[in-house]
Amino acid sequence: MAGRLLLHGVATVVTLALALTACGADEPSDPVEAPELGACRMLEPDDVAASANSAPTVDCEQDHTAETYAVGPLPSELSDAAYDDADIGAFAYRTCSQAFMKFLGADESMALRTILSRAWFRPSQEAWDKGARWYRCDVVGGTDDATDFVLLPTTAKGLMSSGVPEDKWMACVNGEAVPGAPRIPCSEAHTWRAVTTIKVGADKDPYPGDRLVEVKSRDFCDTSVSAWLGYPLEYKFAYTRFHEAEWKTGNRRSICWARTTT
């Protein structure tokens, strides 16, 4: 991250994993049928280790940390794919990412600056062997560095459609620097807030290289954070930029952070 007090500080860049992780822990039942759209569950961060999930559903009026917002069949060209084929993951990433923004009512920038994230699930190996070919997208109450997930409202649908979401859904960090610090809700005590993003390339552009992405992110975030803070004489900013692996999944944005307690 980069810090600035009148002059540029030392730039330190952090990479956050953008790739969606399949999550969940298999239960004894291995359903072949597609899961229920709109179902809620209590999931934990440790659940992200598995590729399938058949955790029991709960009433969405009760405590839950996950809500299924998209379900559907895999495309026909993937019907004969291997269980762990990378093309399945790429399809799920694109599909779940687009549906995630639509479900929350968030644009690309807001989707990167929320503490909410999306996880995707495929059938268990046993169900796959029986012919199951579906995907499930869940919104969960935390990012991949969370130690605990926050509880979700009865439904997260439209949660950000106002354009000014509550602080408890937006990403902040409490620490001297952003790298290595977990994201927390901005409603908690914090020292950094994700305030904007920059699009560093067009959708069809080839990856421009780490250095160009870093320079463009740094320069934009310097200006953007200064404006967001009201052009103070002294301020600190930081940025999160991503790499070629995330570029290939469709991400074209870097995140700008402001040193602030509000």
pLDDT of residue 93: 87
β-sheet bridge partners, residue 239: 256
pLDDT of residue 192: 96
- pLDDT for 217-234, tens place per residue? 999 999 999 999 999 999
pLDDT of residue 29: 56
204 Cα distance to chain centroid:
22
Residue 17 confidence (pLDDT) above 50: no
Distance from C-alpha of 197 to C-alpha of 254, rounded to nearest angstrom? 5
Mean pLDDT, the chain, as a whole number?
86
> pLDDT-derived band of residue 2, with 50, 70 and 90 as boundaries?
very low
Residue 251 confidence (pLDDT) above 90: no
Which secondary structure element, helix H or strand E, spans residue 137, and what is its range? strand 134-140
Query: Which domain range does residue 110 map to?
Result: 4-259
Using DSSP, state whether 189 is helix, strand or coil. coil
Please give the share of the chain, as a percent, with pLDDT higher than 90: 70
What is the dihedral angle through the alpha carbons of 27, 30, 36, 37, rounded to the nearest 10 degrees? 80
119 Cα distance to chain centroid:
8
Distance from C-alpha of 100 to C-alpha of 220, rounded to nearest angstrom? 26
Name 42's Cβ contacts closer than 8 Å, sequence gap at least 6.
55, 58, 63, 64, 65, 66
CA distances from 214 to 2, 17, 138, 226 (A): 11, 16, 31, 18
Predicted TM-score (pTM) of this structure: 0.82
Query: Domain tally for the chain?
Result: 1
Distance from C-alpha of 13 to C-alpha of 213, rounded to nearest angstrom? 11
Rounded to whole angstroms, the maximal C-alpha distance in the chain is 65
CA distances from 198 to 152, 171, 212, 215, 242 (A): 28, 16, 13, 12, 12
Amino acid code (one letter) for 75: P
